[in-house]
């Protein structure tokens, strides 16, 4: 199952904007996609490992490998388009 990781921080305005968008994407692809949120302030080592330099940053993992990455607020349809090749 593909995993979409949302790197965010509680104080980040654009990150708060992504919340409802990701909820909608999760609902649309329920059972086909897992979404995980990682707070960059609490998990700095993980953020550094994946070279997250701005937030929000979304990284899609398929079979354990990053296959898509996007920083900033991303519209739901753009996320869905990126997911299409990996949803089965």
Instruction: Name the phi and psi angles at 7, rounded to 5.
Output: -85, 125
**DSSP string for residues in 35-67:** EEEEETTT-HHHHHHTT--SSSEEEEEETTEEE
Q: Is residue 22 part of a domain?
A: yes
Please state the domain count of the chain. Answer: 1
What pLDDT score does 88 carry?
A: 66
Which residues form the catalytic set?
12, 15
Q: Is residue 76 part of a domain?
A: yes
Q: Is residue 46 part of a domain?
A: yes
Q: Is residue 52 part of a domain?
A: yes
C-alpha 51: how far from chain center: 14
Q: Is residue 51 part of a domain?
A: yes
Q: At what angle do helices 13-28 and 76-83 cross, to 10 degrees?
A: 50
Q: Is residue 31 part of a domain?
A: yes
Q: Is residue 88 part of a domain?
A: no
Q: What is the pTM assigned to this prediction?
A: 0.93
What pLDDT score does 87 carry?
A: 83
pLDDT in tens, the chain (88 residues): 999 999 999 999 999 999 999 999 999 999 999 999 999 999 999 999 999 999 999 999 999 999 999 999 999 999 999 999 888 6
Beta-carbon contacts of 86 under 8 Å, excluding residues fewer than 6 positions away, are 2, 60, 62, 67
Q: Is residue 67 part of a domain?
A: yes
Residue 36 domain boundaries: 3-83
């Amino acid at each position: 199952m593909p995993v979409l990781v949302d790197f965010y921080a509680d104080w980040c305005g654009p990150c708060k904007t992504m919340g409802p968008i990701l909820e909608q994407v999760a609902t649309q692809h329920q059972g086909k996609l897992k979404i995980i949120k990682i707070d960059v302030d609490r998990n700095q080592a993980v953020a550094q490992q994946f070279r997250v330099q701005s937030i929000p940053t979304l990284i899609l993992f398929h079979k354990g490998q990053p296959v898509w990455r996007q920083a900033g607020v991303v519209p739901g349809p753009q996320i869905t388009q990126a997911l299409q090749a990996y949803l089965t």
